[in-house]
Structure 1
Amino acid sequence: MNIRSDIVKVYKDVHIWIGIVSGLMLFVAFYAGAITMFEKPLERWATPPSALSAPPPLQRADALVDAVLAQQPKAAARWFVSVRPTADQPARVYWQERGKGRREFKEYGASFAADGSLQVEPTRKATVAQLVDTLHQLVGLPFPDAVARPIMGAVALAYAVALVSGLIVLLPTIAKDVFALRIGRNIKRLWLDVHNALGLFSLPFHIVIALTSVVFAFHDQFYDAQDAVVYPNGIQWGEEEHAVTPPGAVPLPVAELLRRVEVQLPGFEVQGFGFQREGDRIEATVTGLDLRHGTRARTYASTHLDPYTGQVDPHDLPGHMEPWDEAVNAFFMLHFGSFGGNPVRWLYLLMGLAGAALFYSGNLLWVESRRRKRRGAETPVQKRSAWALACLTVGVSLGCVAGISASVAATKWLPALVGDPKAWHTGIYYAVFAAAVGWAFVRGASRGAMELLRIGAAFTLLIPLSSLAGAYGLGGAWNHTGGWPVDATALAAVPVFLLLARHTRRRMRHGHDDSVWAAKAIPAS
C-alpha cells in the first residue's frame, strides 16, 4: 500500500508522542490486568483460614439464617447463603454492615459451633487481589477514583488513537516487515520488529480493550447524554407488576430453592442466594455461572428469584437477555475475558503481558532513535531526555512488577502482624514502586534494570516461600492446600526475571558503548 511519506510522518509523530505520554500508565494497567484474570484463585490463596466451624449442610442453612437474624438485627437488611463455600468465602451464611464511609462495609460470616451455639466472625477476604484490580482500573495512579478514572479514560482514548496511527505507519511496509524478526547487532531494528509484531497480531484485542475502557471511564457521561438526547422526559417504564405475598407465606428452604433453580436453568452452576426485606416481603437473587455464556462480571452472573415459589426471572442472565442488554454485556465480557473458562483466561493473561511488553518496547524504540552515535574515537554524551525516559521506563515498569510481587508476598504475614492489611498492601506496593523509580535514576537505566529485575525475582520467589512457611505455621503464616497454582506461577516467573537480568547485564557490558544502556552512560548536563 502506498501512502505519502509526509502523511506517514504525521501519524508516526502522533503514535510516538501518545505512546510516550501514556505508555507507562498502560504498562501498569496491562500487567496488573493480566494478573486479575485469575483474581479468584489469588483471593483463595491469600485469604487467611477462618476460625469458624465447618459450614453446616445446606439443609440446615435456614436454621442458621434464623439464628443469625435473631441475634444480629443488622443482618436482616440483606443476607447471603453460599451453596458452595470456598477458602475465600468459608461461611454458609454471611452479611454486610455499613462502615463509617459511604462505600465502606464490614462483612461477617456465621456458623454453628460444636455445641450448637452461633459463631460469628468478620470475614477475612484478602485485599491484595483488590489492590491489583485497582491498579489495573486506575492505571496505577494513587489518586481517588473520581480523579484517576477520568485520567484513565483520557489515556484509553489516546491509546485508541495510537493504535490507529501505528497501523497507518506500518501499512506501507506491512508485507515486508510483518513476519520479520531480524536478530543481529542492530538492537533498534530488533526491538522495532518485536514491537510491530506484538502490535499487529494483537490489534483486535487492543481495540476491544481501548474502546471498552473508554466506556467504563465515561459511562456516567454517556448515560447523562443519553438521558438528555434520547429520553428528555425520563424513561417511561410503565406499570410494574409487584408480586403479592399471600398472608402467612414463608420463603422456601434454601435446598428446595436450589433444586428448583437447577431444573429451570440447566447448566447454570449456582453459587449462592441473596435475600433482603422489602416491607413485609422478602426479595431474592440467585448468583452463579454458566460457562456457555460470557458474563458482565468476571466470575458470576445474577438475576431475580421469587423466594416463595422458586421461580427464576432469567432476563438478566446471558443467553436470556434482550438484544440491547446482550450488546452491553458483550462490552464487559470482551474486556474481562469472562467467557470460555480457563483457556480464555490464560489467553488474556498472555495478551495482557504482551501488551505490557508492547508499551515497554515502544519507549525503548524512542530512546534508541535519539541515540547520538559514535563518529570518532570519543564516546558521545547522550541527550538528557533519552537518558531520563530510559530511567523512567525501567523504574515505572519494573517498579510495578516488583511492587505487586512484594505486596502479594506479604499477604501470608500481614494479618498476624497488623490491624489494617489493606492499607499495608497499598503502602508496600507504592513504597517499592517509588523506591524502584528512584533507584533507576540513581543507578542509570542499564544497571537499574539489571538490579530491579533481580529484586523483582527475589520478591516473586518470596510468594511460594511464604506458602512454604505457612505449611509449617511459621510467624503466623498459613497455606491452603488448593493454593499451589499461584505458587507454581510465581515460581515459574522467577527464572524469567533472572534470564532478563542476565541479558540486560550482557547488553550493558557488550552492547553499544554510545547508548544509554551502556554501563557508563551519562546524560548531558
Structure 2
Amino acid sequence: MRVRADILRTYQGVHTWTGIIAGLVLFIGFYAGSLTMFKHELAQWANPVSAPVTKPHTNNHQTLVDQAIAKYPEQMGNGFSLDLLTNQAPLSWYSQGKERGMKLDNQLQVLYLNQQNDLVIQQQNENKLADLIDYLHRTAGFAGEIGHDQSGVYILGIASALYFLALVSGVIILLPTLVKTFFAIRKEKGASRFWLDSHNLVGIASLPFHLIIAFTVVVFAFHDLVYDGLSAFYDDKSFFQRPAPAAHNYHIANLPSINKQLLAAKNYAPGYEPIHITFNRLNTNSPTATLKMSNSSAVVRGPDTDYLFLHPYTLEVLNSSYPQGGDGVWGNIVGSFFSLHFGTYGGEWGRWGYFVMGLLGAFLFYSGNLLWLDKRFKQDANKRSTRFMANLTIGVCLGSMIAVVATLLQAKWTNQYMGNANYSYLYSYYLVFFAFVAYTFFKGTHHASYWGLMGIALLSAGMGVSTLIQALLADDFLKYYQSGIVDISAAVFALIFYYCAKKVRNKSVSYAVIPAKL
C-alpha cells in the first residue's frame, strides 16, 4: 500500500512524541498490570501459612452468623462479610477502615466456630500487598488524590489517550511495508534493526489487545466527567437511579437465612456459584447485599467475578453486572469492555495470555524509547536532553521492576514478624525505585542497566530460596510449600534477566548500544 511521504512524516512525528511522553508511565501500568493477573497468588505466597481454623466449604455458616448476631448485634448490623470458600475464618467486619481505598491501617474482626461449635473472634490487620500491585497498575505509583480518585488514575488516562494515537499512527507508518516485513526479524542487520523489527511485530500482533486497553483505561479514568457533562443534556437527572429507601428501618434480627440469600442469587443467575457476600447498613432503611458470583466457563465483568446486588430482606435483585438482554444494550457493551480489560475469560489460558501480553506491552514502550534514543545519539551523542531521557528510561523502567520484586521479597519475611507490614510494602517500593533512578543518573545507563537486570535476577532467585528456607523451618514442609506457581515463575524470570544482564555486560544487545556512547 502506498502512502504519501509527507503523511508518513506527520504520523512518524505523532507516533514518536506520543510514545515518548506516555511510554514510561504506561510501562509501569503494563508491568504491574500483568502481575495483577496473579495478585492473589502473590499475596498468598507472601503471607505466613497458618493452620485452617475451620474446614473448607463448611456448611455451618448460618450457625456462625446466628451466634455472631446474638453476641455482636450492633457490629453485625453495621455490616459484615461472609467468605463461602475460605479455609480460614469466614466471617469478618471492619473495626477500622473500610473495604474501598488503599488504607494501610485497616483492621478486621474475624470470627469462626471452633471444634466445640463456640464462637471465636480475633483481630487482624488487612494485608494490602495485592492492593499495592493493583495500585501501581492503576496509578503508575503517582501519589495524591483528585476528588474521590487517585491522581495517577487521571495521569494514566491521559497517557492512554496518547497511547491510542501512538497505536493508530504506528499502524499507518507500517502500512507501506506491512506485508513484506511483518514477520521479519533482521538480527543480522544490527541491533537497532532487530529491536525495530521486534517492536513492530509485538505492536501489530497484539494491536486489538492494546486498542481495548487504551480505550478502557480512558473510560475508567474519565467516566465521572463524561457523566457529569452529559447530565446537562438530561436535565441533571442521575444516570444511575438508586432504589427508593423504605419507609421504615429494617433490623438484623429479621434477616433471612444465608441459604435463602444464596438461593435467590442462584435463581437469578443459573450456573453461577455465590462465593462471597457482603452485607451493608442492615439496621437502616436502605440495606444491601453484594454477592460475588463465580463461573469459570463464563465471561465475567469484574476483576474476578460477576456481581449481584440484592435487598437482603426482600431478596429483590437491585442491580447486577450480568447481561441485561435487549433492554440493556449499552450496559452489555460496557460490561463487555470491562471483561476485556480485566481478562476474566478464557480460564487459566486467558489469564496467562493477559500476563504475557501485559509484559509484551511493557516491552513495547521500553523498546520504543530505546529506538528513539538510539536515533538521537547518532545525531548528537553529547546532547544533555538525550542523556537525561536515556537515564530516565533505564531508571524508571528497570527501577519499577526491581522495586516490585524487592517489595515481594521483603514482604515474604516481614509478614513473619510484623503484625501490620503494609507500610513496609509502600516504603520498600518507593525507596528502591527512587534509589535506583538516582543511581542511574549517577553511574550512567550502561552500568545501571547491567546491575539493574542482575539485581532483578538475584531478587527473583531469592524469592524461591526464601520459600524453601521458611518451608524447611516449618513443621509441615508439604503443607507450607503451596505457592509453587510463584516460585517457578520467579526462577524462570531470574534466568531470563541473568541472561539479559550478561548480554548487556558484553555489549551485544541494543540497549548496550546507547549507554556505550555516553
Q: TM-score range by the shorter chain?
A: 0.7 to 0.9
Instruction: List aligned pairs for 1:245-394, cutoff 5 A.
Output: 250-255=254-259, 257-258=261-262, 261-262=265-266, 265-276=269-280, 277-279=282-284, 283-305=288-310, 307=312, 313=317, 316-320=320-324, 322-372=328-378, 382-394=382-394
| Distance (Å, rounded) in 1 between the aligned partners of 2:58 and 2:129 | 30
1:451 aligns with 2:456: no
For the 8 Å contact 1:59–1:255, the answer to whether it is kept is no
Would the alpha carbon gap of residues 479 and 447 (structure 1) be closer, same or farther in structure 2, given more than 3 Å must change? farther
| Distance (Å, rounded) in 1 between the aligned partners of 2:232 and 2:51 | 52
| Distance (Å, rounded) in 1 between the aligned partners of 2:133 and 2:119 | 35
Q: Tell me how far 1:194 sits from its aligned partner.
A: 0.8
Q: Please list the CA deviations of residues 107-133 of structure 1 after superposition, one character each: whole Å capped at 9, or x if unmatched.
A: 221012345443222345532221111
Instruction: List aligned pairs for 1:192-271, cutoff 5 A.
Output: 192-234=196-238, 250-255=254-259, 257-258=261-262, 261-262=265-266, 265-271=269-275
For the 8 Å contact 2:292–2:307, the answer to whether it is kept is yes
Q: Tell me how far 1:78 sits from its aligned partner.
A: 0.9
| Distance (Å, rounded) in 2 between the aligned partners of 1:150 and 1:238 | 27
| Distance (Å, rounded) in 2 between the aligned partners of 1:185 and 1:171 | 22
1:156 aligns with 2:154: no
| Distance (Å, rounded) in 2 between the aligned partners of 1:233 and 1:318 | 24
Could you tell which deviates more after superposition, 287-296 or 195-204? 287-296
**Which consecutive segments of 4 or more residues in structure 1 shift more than 6 A?**
241-249, 510-513
For the 8 Å contact 1:52–1:110, the answer to whether it is kept is no
For the 8 Å contact 1:293–1:318, the answer to whether it is kept is no
Amino acid at match of 1:11: Y
Please state whether the residue corresponding to 1:96 is helix, strand or coil: strand
Q: Tell me how far 1:240 sits from its aligned partner.
A: 5.8
For the 8 Å contact 1:387–1:516, the answer to whether it is kept is no
Q: Name 1:28's counterpart in structure 2.
A: 28
Q: Name 1:126's counterpart in structure 2.
A: 127
TM-score, normalised to structure 2, is 0.88
| Distance (Å, rounded) in 1 between the aligned partners of 2:27 and 2:346 | 26
For the 8 Å contact 2:243–2:318, the answer to whether it is kept is no
Please state whether the residue corresponding to 2:111 is helix, strand or coil: strand
Would the alpha carbon gap of residues 253 and 409 (structure 1) be closer, same or farther in structure 2, given more than 3 Å must change? same
Could you tell which deviates more after superposition, 144-153 or 342-351? 144-153
| Distance (Å, rounded) in 2 between the aligned partners of 1:64 and 1:58 | 10
| Distance (Å, rounded) in 1 between the aligned partners of 2:402 and 2:125 | 25
For the 8 Å contact 1:270–1:289, the answer to whether it is kept is yes
| Distance (Å, rounded) in 2 between the aligned partners of 1:156 and 1:239 | 35
For the 8 Å contact 2:139–2:150, the answer to whether it is kept is no
For the 8 Å contact 1:110–1:121, the answer to whether it is kept is yes
For the 8 Å contact 1:271–1:288, the answer to whether it is kept is yes
Q: Tell me how far 1:331 sits from its aligned partner.
A: 2.0
| Distance (Å, rounded) in 2 between the aligned partners of 1:238 and 1:165 | 43
1:167 aligns with 2:168: no
| Distance (Å, rounded) in 2 between the aligned partners of 1:190 and 1:140 | 32
Aligned Cα RMSD in Å?
3.3
Q: Tell me how far 1:226 sits from its aligned partner.
A: 2.0
* Structure 2, gaps ≥5 residues long: none
Q: Tell me how far 1:253 sits from its aligned partner.
A: 3.4
Q: Name 1:482's counterpart in structure 2.
A: 482
Q: Tell me how far 1:143 sits from its aligned partner.
A: 3.6
Could you tell which deviates more after superposition, 407-416 or 107-116? 107-116
Q: Percent identity?
A: 32
1:438 aligns with 2:441: no
For the 8 Å contact 2:32–2:133, the answer to whether it is kept is yes
TM-score, normalised to structure 1, is 0.86
Q: Please list the CA deviations of residues 263-313 of structure 1 after superposition, one character each: whole Å capped at 9, or x if unmatched.
A: 65432122023334154796534322123332232112221346567x673
Q: Name 2:494's counterpart in structure 1.
A: 494
Would the alpha carbon gap of residues 412 and 248 (structure 1) be closer, same or farther in structure 2, given more than 3 Å must change? closer
Q: Please list the CA deviations of residues 445-467 of structure 1 after superposition, one character each: whole Å capped at 9, or x if unmatched.
A: 22211111010111111222222
Q: Tell me how far 1:67 sits from its aligned partner.
A: 2.6
1:75 aligns with 2:73: no
| Distance (Å, rounded) in 1 between the aligned partners of 2:289 and 2:446 | 58
For the 8 Å contact 2:93–2:108, the answer to whether it is kept is yes
Q: Name 1:110's counterpart in structure 2.
A: 111
Please state whether the residue corresponding to 2:292 is helix, strand or coil: strand
Q: Report the number of matched residues.
A: 506
Q: 2:90 aligns with which of 78, 89, 92?
A: 92
| Distance (Å, rounded) in 1 between the aligned partners of 2:249 and 2:511 | 80
For the 8 Å contact 2:250–2:284, the answer to whether it is kept is no
Amino acid at match of 1:138: T
| Distance (Å, rounded) in 2 between the aligned partners of 1:32 and 1:483 | 19
